[in-house]
Amino acid sequence: MRDLSRRDLLKTSARVMTGLAAGAALKPDLLAAEVPPPVQQATPRIRFSVIGLNHGHINSQTDATIRGGGQLVSFYASEPDLAAAFAKRYPQAKLARSQKEILEDRSIHLVVSASIPNERAPLGIEVMKHGKDFMVDKPGITTLEQLAEARRVQAATKRIYSIMYSERFENRATVKAGELIKAGAIGPVMQTIGLGPHRLNARTRPAWFFDREKYGGILCDIASHQFDQFLFLTGSTSGEIVASQVGNLHHPQWPGLEDFGDAMIQGNGGTGYVRVDWFTPDGLPTWGDGRLTVLGRNGYIEARKNVDIAGRPGGSHLFLVDNKGTHYIDTKDAELPYGRQLVDDVVNRTETAMTQEHCFLATELALQAQKQARIVKTPTAGLR
């Protein structure tokens, strides 16, 4: 660990703000450069296929599985443009003639999906009924009725239904924060605060993005990340929503869009607060300043997941404050274990990546928060 210099921090912050004021080159999504796919392992441990390419997260899901020892065999998507882009990135995969072809291929162990959100649970249920495990982008389930059926089928088939909460599994600072907390670096955890701002990029979004029935609502969708982190970091195995609210505060042209949501949670291991939105300004050099603060009895940790606005390059920044001082922790060498652990679980029928109970509980909290949310309207709606 290296102690932070407050003077250096202020100097760097001043440089950044001066650059912004002068229109300096902090280009939007500068940090979102395409990462090349990983090299296939010589001796893969499982065979997997992909169904549904409707969200760009499918690339990180596929990459994680390949890194973990999976062999990408085939894929299916009904949209020619999405299929062509995926085939270009993963030329080793065969384009299947139909979804059924993959489901009935007995050599496939795992199906990975980032289909339209409200279609994910029905697909996962069919995958499990066909004797395969399922890994899906968040939100993995969009209604409480879907959740009940997924739980029933999973219990009956004993297959894996895993939701890839990428803000934890694919962020090195968050992984490292979990390791430090487990080692007692800040004492027992009392509260988590999870902030998930995103850039809207409306012109690039498909029609389903603005249809609440299809994406499930903002707390169901984006905030599923924060509910997952709350359970994981507080060690909670039960929880309830104390209060929640959602609203369309600034985009009346899309009445199906919720651009703001927040919630308070009480678990048997601590409390939590969540706020998510679609208000990231264009001046930020990435899609959102995702933040996680974990309050412990002997200190606190903050993860700046995607950007340090004080000027450090890249993402996955981790800060720790304890009784000895303020520390910046380099996380560039932290392993991202989810893909390896998931493949282990497929092979060994274990729950090392994430327990099934945790996966479904995080989803249940998100769905309950969405269901009981109060509709809020901005008090400044008439101001310009």
User: 156 and 181 share a domain?
Assistant: no
pLDDT at 40: 83
pLDDT at 380: 55
Assign residue 79 the CATH number of its domain: 3.40.50.720
Q: The whole model's pTM is what?
A: 0.90
> Residue-wise pLDDT tens for the chain (384 aa)?
334 343 443 343 343 333 333 333 333 343 344 689 998 888 999 999 999 999 999 999 999 999 999 999 999 999 999 999 999 999 999 999 999 999 999 999 999 999 999 999 999 999 999 999 999 999 999 999 999 999 999 999 999 999 999 999 999 999 999 999 999 999 999 999 999 999 999 999 999 999 999 999 999 999 999 999 999 999 999 999 999 999 999 999 999 999 999 999 999 999 999 999 999 999 999 999 999 999 999 999 999 999 999 989 999 999 999 999 999 999 989 999 999 999 999 999 999 999 999 999 999 999 999 999 999 987 654 444
User: 240 and 198 share a domain?
Assistant: yes
356 inside domain? no
Q: How is the chain split among helix, strand and coil, in percent rounded to 5?
A: 35, 25, 40
User: 145 and 174 share a domain?
Assistant: no
pLDDT at 142: 98
Alpha-carbon distance 306 to 318, whole Å? 11
| Sign, Cα dihedral of 321, 325, 331, 332 | positive
User: 122 and 249 share a domain?
Assistant: no
User: 90 and 238 share a domain?
Assistant: no
CB 313 within 8 A of CB 26: no
Average pLDDT, the chain: 91
End-to-end CA distance of the chain: 46
Domain count, the chain: 2
Domain encompassing residue 280: 168-337
Assign residue 203 the CATH number of its domain: 3.30.360.10
